[in-house]
Structure 1
Amino acid sequence: MNIVEVIQDQVIKGVKTLYGADVAPEQAVVSPTRKEFEGNYTVVVFPFTRAAKKKPEMIGEELGAYLVQEVPELESFNVIKGFLNLVVADTYWAQLVDDIYEQTNYGLQPRNGRKVMVEFSSPNTNKPLHLGHIRNILLGWSAYKILDAVGYDVVRVQIVNDRGIAICKSMLAWQRFADGATPGSTDTKSDHFVGDYYVRFEKEFRAEYEAWQETAAAEKVYEAEKKEELSKAAFFKAYKDKYFNQYSELGGAAKEMLRKWEANDPATRTLWERMNQWVYDGFNETYEKLGVTFDRLYYESQTYLLGKQLVDKGMDSGTFYKKEDGSVWADLEDAKLDHKTILRSDGTSLYVTQDLGTAHQRYEDFGVEKMIYVVADEQNYHFQVLFEILKRLEEPYADGLYHLSYGMVDLPSGRMKSREGTVVDADDLVAEVIEEARLNSAERDTTADLSEDQRQDIIRKIALAALKFFIIKVHPKKRMVFDPKESVDLRGQTGPYIQNAYVRIQSVIRNAGQFDLVAASSYTGLNDEERELTQLLFGFPQLIQTAANEMDPSHIAAFCYDMAKAYHKFYHEHSILSAESEAARAFRLKLSMAVSNTLRTGMDLLGIEMPERM
């Protein structure tokens, strides 16, 4: 058992010995002591007042004396009202450092033989990856790394939304307006090239719609369909989708293209394959920049017909019911989810239908016991419905479903809009952050002795650390604003700030030359900064488990920042290589090495590389 588990166990025994009462583990809470008080861990004694029939202060004194006597690792205690603060002996912290300073896998758990799937990214093939996708990708990748760290075998998948009316809009615009242009002929990154035609379609459609509004036909529609005293501007703003489906020439052509695709028209399928491949090539370039890979790709064009077998199963079991028009529904009112359509009256699938089938297919493919879906919070209701239906169908993996829901990402300039072409492309954002990192590096000029390739690699690592950390440090459920300039600040709560602590340690180790660490065993009297660092190190394994349990990588980000901040303070207040004794020098080198390895592991869980120089 570690020191926290030992303390908790002895608290339970102590209450039994002192007061004859049984205490449940959840009542014997042991938490880190607040910084303004003396101590390392605190026990709240208020839950024991009824059994002890004494004031909290008296219980604290009696229980503290018992713990110090029974737990050799405890040195002393103090009581502040109902809080028992315990001081762990320096010998315990010194032994911890000695145990872990060379471990490059400290905090990681052995394989547990269990398998989990993480679905993330899952873009559409009508536009390039953008800032919103970056948050999705970074959360998904970090979720994979954290689950892997606690022992799971993790399968990384995405489902590419490669069919539908949006894709046909890009295809139609290319047919009509490209004049045979290709990504190569225009020197345009291939997914950006396709995305430009999606924007072009919307531009042409808006122009068509605006022109139509001035016609007699539009006036007739306005007079016939307005249900209240709406201005023409307000009416036509709300009427756009109906116009697309009923009157638009462009809308009709796009829908006709979709019908041809569904009918396997050779020419349509050939164009679809060609343009999708352009997008896939572009996506892969972006994934490579971000250091992301997948084990399996699923395509909506291959999965949209899945699910109908589960619909039959649901009909047989009474989970679903059929209306007179032939549509299939699920009554989820008892789960406060209303009635949900599962199949349309014409027998065609909806998103929930294909997601039912895809989940079942993935279980057949990999036998996973958990499925983590990284999808924006706009889809919260969809996943509540999906998970509830799979439970009612008694699918064997239904209890292991989790929606890692996250908030939208804005820029200082405001919200992005795909159709208007105001979305910040992922590639452009990465390039901007790299440029910010390059400017910062040029101002410091600390890598002038390195080759150009080495300098560019360092700049890349700093930039990606800035981007990734700035996004991951925010709790997934919170909406956030990404500021490229703020993200590369070496003094704030940023990735480069943490990298700087790691680089500082590498410099110390290089400057130490050949060193003997044997004397560290005789070091006594740790200072406050050394105790803070060792206590942070101690908590790292449990922190990874907490991040895995809650599917929240921001725990890891906060830890790495706290560790870097504590090390910077330690470095400024205490000499390492010119320490007051050989024992202090050796211990501080060991401590630095332990911090270095732990920072590297923690940042790797966020998908962030650590440079040796910066």
Structure 2
Amino acid sequence: MTIENTIVQQIQKAVSVLYQTEIASDSIVIQETRKEFEGQVTVVTFPFTRFSKKTPEQTGTEIGEYLKENVKEVEDFNVIKGFLNLSIADSYWIDELLNTVHSNSFGQFPSNGKKVMVEYSSPNTNKPLHLGHVRNNLLGYSVAEILSANGYEVIKVNLVNDRGIHICKSMLAWQLFGNGETPESSGLKGDHLVGKYYVIFDKEYKKQIEALTYEGQTEDEAKKNAPIIKEAQEMLLKWEAGDKDVKELWSMMNGWVYSGFEVTYKMLGVDFKKYYYESDTYLLGKDTIQEGLEKGVFFKKDDGSVWIDLTEDGLDQKLVLRADGTSVYITQDLGTAQLKYDDFKMDKSIYVVGNEQDYHFKVLFLILQKLGKTWAKGLFHLSYGMVDLPSGKMKSREGTVVDADELMDDMILTARERTEELGKVEGFTEEEKIDLYNMIGLGALKFFLLKVEPKKRLLFDPNESIDFQGHTGPFIQYTHARIRSVMAKADYKNKISLNYSNVLTVLERDLIVNLAKYPDVIAASAREYSPAHIANYVFELAKLFNKFYHEESILKAEDPDVRNFRLDLSAATASTINKGMKLLGIRVPSRM
């Protein structure tokens, strides 16, 4: 039981004894004590004045005296206006460190019996992953790990957009200009090779538009009449008709892309339990449309198209099936949502998709609810903002995209340069150096993208992200390595201060109080689907340890009991940093 829960229960008793009133636990407001005041836990006393018939200060004093007298964890108190600040006994914090924080299960909640699906990545197979995909993948993976730590059974899935006009553009350009080029003959990763032909298509398309407008067509006419776009559209029709040659070309080029994606996913450290492919799901949903027509949820217009009227919900009328019976995106998304639920029967389903799709998901979830799908209430769109670089916004069709592979390589190179400048690799083998540069470079990238709340648009500055003294992953990694170095010098193996009873210093107590918050931070991260809570918690923990390290002796403490206790405190800090960073998909080094 946390100290906050204990205090809530004891305040219920205090109010009952002092004012003969029973109060609900959720009516008691508990806060962390502000740094300028003594204490660790603050109780807001204003709500109790209606029972006590006294001022907030008098009420706080009476409750404080009751707690000090009757609750062993409460050592002292002070009242500032309507706030009762409680000082928790050192014995409580020592026990919390040695018996809770030090346990292997600290920060891992027991199974809650619930199942959650996290769908993320969802790439197109016409180009490699870029910086925006990196944020998507890191968010999806981290949220999945956080939910797992909270006791959920987690299913990570990837819905791949492997069909449509975009992939036909790459296929056609390869046919026209590729001369049989393959990943092996070109030395390019498969996704990069296919992306190259997507860019070639776009350049050729623009040339043809320019030529047609020069001949007198309007730009809109030229866009429709350019021979290359007509050929791409014809190829799509052939694909949908099952044309053998087109299907074989599609299968070959998608195979190249998947091999390339796997390399990128491995480098990013993300994984999936199941892949869904739009080529399998794009015809789904028509049964759902029929079901909706029968239930009166949808209506047919005179031309045969099917719609839903969401004006009463503050939205508009939405097309769900074209007049010719073909699907729109919402059709297949309705069908895919049903398929995923049929496959896994999950309690929650998280869609990690950029905020440009906010409206789409609002409509999708609302339609499913109107169709009476009981599981629809468990659907959630984890919407995130775009990532910019200092040089400006990314544009994929023009070949100026910030490629994920190149970005990771650049981060690792920068990590190498910074680490060698600072002389942090003395005594490392070449293999150990390479592993460390990977750890630092990718840690910097991941931390920088995850420390910001998902909804916010962010500016990614590679140089700022790798600062060893900043609000960065490398700062936390270096702190972990520093602690492990202290432990190595002490030949520390396991918890050693079993019966410690000394008075804690302010920094010792602050560090334990901070460590004790870790499970609450994980719970908050899971509730809000936000790895930023954990990223910023671990940074503050690392910062606090560095202050402790500089101001308190650990290995040179005169009292052996103090030395051993501080080693235990350091080990618990390293373990918690490691656990927190692991939930962000970030490895931490043992030395540097």
TM range (shorter): over 0.9
In structure 2, distance between residues paired with 1:204 and 1:30: 65
Where do 5+ consecutive residues of structure 2 fail to align? Answer: none
Q: Trace 1:196-345 onto structure 2 (pairs within 5 A).
A: 196-216=196-216, 218=217, 221=218, 236=219, 239=220, 243-244=222-223, 246-345=224-323
Residues 213 and 222 in structure 2, CA contact (< 8 A), matched pair in contact too? no
Q: 2:517 aligned with 1:566, yes or no? A: no
Q: Which moved more, 1:430-439 or 1:54-63?
A: 54-63
In structure 2, distance between residues paired with 1:474 and 1:176: 44
Residues 523 and 583 in structure 1, CA contact (< 8 A), matched pair in contact too? no
- Provide the residue aligned with 1:110 in structure 2: 110
Alignment-mate amino acid for residue 114 of structure 2: R
Q: Secondary structure at the residue paired with 1:252? A: helix
In structure 2, distance between residues paired with 1:571 and 1:381: 50
- Provide the residue aligned with 2:42 in structure 1: 42
Q: Trace 1:420-459 onto structure 2 (pairs within 5 A).
A: 420-459=398-437
Alignment-mate amino acid for residue 148 of structure 1: S
- Superposed CA deviations along residues 477-513 of structure 1, whole A, max 9, x for unmatched, are 0000111111111111111111111111111111002
Alignment-mate amino acid for residue 169 of structure 2: K
Q: 2:5 aligned with 1:27, yes or no? A: no
Residues 101 and 516 in structure 2, CA contact (< 8 A), matched pair in contact too? no
Aligned in 2, Cα 1:581/1:312: closer, same or farther, shift over 3 Å?
A: same
Aligned in 2, Cα 1:519/1:374: closer, same or farther, shift over 3 Å?
A: closer
- Provide the residue aligned with 1:348 in structure 2: 326
Decide which of 529, 533, 546 is 1:555's aligned counterpart. 533
Q: 2:83 aligned with 1:83, yes or no? A: yes
Aligned in 2, Cα 1:278/1:115: closer, same or farther, shift over 3 Å?
A: same
In structure 2, distance between residues paired with 1:121 and 1:451: 35
Residues 104 and 597 in structure 1, CA contact (< 8 A), matched pair in contact too? no
Aligned in 2, Cα 1:519/1:389: closer, same or farther, shift over 3 Å?
A: closer
* Count of residues paired in the alignment: 592
Displacement after TM superposition at 1:3 (Å): 1.0
Aligned in 2, Cα 1:181/1:513: closer, same or farther, shift over 3 Å?
A: same
Displacement after TM superposition at 1:52 (Å): 2.5
- Superposed CA deviations along residues 324-369 of structure 1, whole A, max 9, x for unmatched, are 1111111122221211111111111111111111111111111211
- Provide the residue aligned with 1:155 in structure 2: 155
Alignment-mate amino acid for residue 128 of structure 1: P
In structure 2, distance between residues paired with 1:314 and 1:518: 66
Alignment-mate amino acid for residue 535 of structure 2: A
- Superposed CA deviations along residues 28-82 of structure 1, whole A, max 9, x for unmatched, are 1111111121110111112223332322211211121122222210111111111
Residues 523 and 584 in structure 1, CA contact (< 8 A), matched pair in contact too? no
Aligned in 2, Cα 1:163/1:516: closer, same or farther, shift over 3 Å?
A: closer
In structure 2, distance between residues paired with 1:215 and 1:52: 88
- Provide the residue aligned with 1:402 in structure 2: 380
- Provide the residue aligned with 2:518 in structure 1: 540
In structure 1, distance between residues paired with 2:6 and 2:495: 29
Displacement after TM superposition at 1:151 (Å): 1.0
- Provide the residue aligned with 1:483 in structure 2: 461
In structure 1, distance between residues paired with 2:253 and 2:497: 66
In structure 2, distance between residues paired with 1:541 and 1:331: 44
Alignment-mate amino acid for residue 609 of structure 1: R
- Superposed CA deviations along residues 141-198 of structure 1, whole A, max 9, x for unmatched, are 0011011111111111011000111111111111111122122211111111111111
Decide which of 480, 483, 508 is 1:502's aligned counterpart. 480
- Provide the residue aligned with 1:127 in structure 2: 127
Percent of aligned pairs sharing the same letter? 52
- Provide the residue aligned with 1:230 in structure 2: none
Alignment-mate amino acid for residue 564 of structure 1: A
Residues 73 and 92 in structure 1, CA contact (< 8 A), matched pair in contact too? yes
Displacement after TM superposition at 1:517 (Å): 5.7
Q: 2:366 aligned with 1:388, yes or no? A: yes
Alignment-mate amino acid for residue 111 of structure 2: R
- Superposed CA deviations along residues 574-612 of structure 1, whole A, max 9, x for unmatched, are 010111311111110111111111111111111111111
Q: Secondary structure at the residue paired with 1:522? A: coil
Displacement after TM superposition at 1:103 (Å): 2.6
In structure 1, distance between residues paired with 2:299 and 2:277: 29
In structure 1, distance between residues paired with 2:63 and 2:587: 46
Residues 115 and 368 in structure 1, CA contact (< 8 A), matched pair in contact too? yes
In structure 2, distance between residues paired with 1:292 and 1:516: 32
- Provide the residue aligned with 2:178 in structure 1: 178
Q: 2:576 aligned with 1:576, yes or no? A: no
Displacement after TM superposition at 1:447 (Å): 2.0
Q: Secondary structure at the residue paired with 2:489? A: helix
Displacement after TM superposition at 1:23 (Å): 3.0
Residues 103 and 594 in structure 1, CA contact (< 8 A), matched pair in contact too? no
Alignment-mate amino acid for residue 18 of structure 2: L
Alignment-mate amino acid for residue 306 of structure 1: L
Displacement after TM superposition at 1:520 (Å): 5.4
Aligned in 2, Cα 1:555/1:117: closer, same or farther, shift over 3 Å?
A: same
- Provide the residue aligned with 1:228 in structure 2: none
Relative to the length of structure 2, the TM-score reads 0.97
Displacement after TM superposition at 1:371 (Å): 0.6
Residues 342 and 349 in structure 1, CA contact (< 8 A), matched pair in contact too? yes
- Provide the residue aligned with 2:165 in structure 1: 165
Decide which of 431, 439, 464 is 1:461's aligned counterpart. 439
- Provide the residue aligned with 1:64 in structure 2: 64
Greater RCO (Cα-Cα under 8 Å, separation 6 or more): 1
Aligned in 2, Cα 1:518/1:379: closer, same or farther, shift over 3 Å?
A: closer
Residues 374 and 405 in structure 1, CA contact (< 8 A), matched pair in contact too? yes
In structure 2, distance between residues paired with 1:359 and 1:580: 64
Aligned in 2, Cα 1:105/1:440: closer, same or farther, shift over 3 Å?
A: farther
Residues 162 and 299 in structure 1, CA contact (< 8 A), matched pair in contact too? yes
> Considering only aligned residues, what root-mean-square deviation do their CA atoms show, in Å?
1.5
Displacement after TM superposition at 1:110 (Å): 1.6
- Superposed CA deviations along residues 6-43 of structure 1, whole A, max 9, x for unmatched, are 11122233233323344333331111111121110111
In structure 2, distance between residues paired with 1:86 and 1:307: 58
In structure 2, distance between residues paired with 1:34 and 1:210: 65
Where do 5+ consecutive residues of structure 1 fail to align? Answer: 222-235
Residues 520 and 583 in structure 1, CA contact (< 8 A), matched pair in contact too? no
Aligned in 2, Cα 1:531/1:260: closer, same or farther, shift over 3 Å?
A: same
In structure 1, distance between residues paired with 2:145 and 2:422: 33
In structure 2, distance between residues paired with 1:103 and 1:18: 38
Displacement after TM superposition at 1:516 (Å): 8.6
- Superposed CA deviations along residues 359-412 of structure 1, whole A, max 9, x for unmatched, are 111111112111110000000111111111111112231111111110000001
Decide which of 387, 390, 397 is 1:412's aligned counterpart. 390
Aligned in 2, Cα 1:514/1:421: closer, same or farther, shift over 3 Å?
A: closer
Q: 2:499 aligned with 1:521, yes or no? A: yes
- Provide the residue aligned with 1:233 in structure 2: none
Aligned in 2, Cα 1:101/1:146: closer, same or farther, shift over 3 Å?
A: closer
Displacement after TM superposition at 1:101 (Å): 5.2
Aligned in 2, Cα 1:151/1:318: closer, same or farther, shift over 3 Å?
A: same
